[in-house]
Chain A
Amino acid sequence: MTERRYDPTSDEWVTFATHRQHRTYKPADFCPLCPTRPGADPTEIPYPSFEVVTFDNRFPAYSTDPPVPAVEPSGLYPVAPAAGRCEVVVYSDDHHATFADLDRGRVRMLVDVWADRTEILGAEPAVAYVMPFENKGEVVGTTLSHPHGQIYGYPEVPPRARRELDAARAHRARTGTCVHCDVVAAELADGRRLVTSVDGWAAWVPFWARFPYEVHIAPSAHRPALPDLSDCEREGLATMLTRVTGAYDRLWGFSLPYVMAFHQQPTDGNPDWPALSHLHVEFAPPHRAADRLKHLAGSELAGGAFVTDVAPETAAAELRAALQEP
């Protein structure tokens, strides 16, 4: 069963993709994201080596030709096909690399690939929002250890992005400015939560961080989406991604799990979006200490009210210290 069901109590859609229950799970002796070596079993990628490859997920939550929903809709319970796109992005043919291990040129290449896929998927009528993301580490649900991310082409603006756009609209109505432009300028000026910066970019622990070592990266200029970045700005983003992932891995001496996601302009053609959307990357590591995880429990999961265990200013200072190689 693959379909979207509407929750009238929260005004959100939930996607059911029950075939994903049987997706590839931590295969012990075979990696489907490795190159296909001569004479060996074929993998998803039919080349003996490669730089970056994207392909349609074999177990997609959204697809271009989704099945007809299995249940009948009603006035109370609307149902829709799970139309959209789900792609896998394989960062390298080195099975043991992590994002932080990638050389600077490969990270820059990934920025170009994410921008290109944003344009390609965003041009599809069924796609309203393109979100590249990476789940890194078993604690955030990674089922394959080969360095890779995913790109979801959602059929509507997902709830979190929609709330951000609503907040941006309210801020613009109140002040006449872009809320993210104001935040980046404030963090660069203040410096206490800043992790690192290069010309035109900032990485900081948010004033409102929901996860103790959460980091956001954004351009100081108003850029709605990845394709809007100049070559110089793409270089800056690659530098920031390399620095932040390196600091994460040096923070406690192990490769830190995280969820990394790009938030950008929806692709459904609404003329309001360019002014309200400001490209940014959000890192949400689940650790609150080297040996402790922040669990989403009663307040966070049931109430949606986050309680954070580390002051953002403290986390930022620790991450700044971890920027340098020992």
Chain B
Amino acid sequence: MTGTRPDGDVEAPGPRDEDAPREPVGDAARALWRRSETKPDGRRLTRYERTGDSPQRP
């Protein structure tokens, strides 16, 4: 699902059933992870996390 503001400024994805898989960045000591996904319009989005406890989509 694609959401578009009335002014057409932003196209953003709607909710999904599952979060993207988490991948480590560097070795474990760095404690950094990324989750990569593709927006409905084909653009890539990557969330980086130190905590590992990501809030889910609204």
Contacts and interface: CB of A to CB of B under 8 A. Distances in A.
Interface of A: 24, 27, 30, 32, 36-39, 41-56, 58, 105, 109, 112-113, 116, 231
B50 A56 contact: no
Contacts of B49: 51
B58 A53 contact: no
Question: Which applies to chain A's interface (DSSP): helix, strand, loop or mixed?
Answer: loop
A113 B47 CA distance: 10
B17 to A, nearest CB: 13
B50 A54 contact: no
Interface in B1-46: 3, 5, 7, 9-16, 25-26, 29-30, 32, 34, 39, 43-46
Contact of A58 (B11, B30, B56): B11
Contacts of A48: 55-58
Given A46-B45, A53-B45, A58-B43, 20 more contacts: A30-B5, A30-B9, A30-B10, A32-B12, A41-B5, A42-B3, A42-B10, A42-B12, A42-B13, A45-B45, A47-B55, A47-B58, A50-B55, A55-B46, A56-B44, A109-B48, A112-B32, A116-B26, A116-B32, A231-B29
A32 B45 contact: no
A46 B34 CA distance: 15
A53 B44 CA distance: 11
B43 A112 contact: no
A112 B25 contact: yes
B9 A53 contact: no
Nearest to B15: A46
Nearest to B4: A42
B43 A56 contact: yes
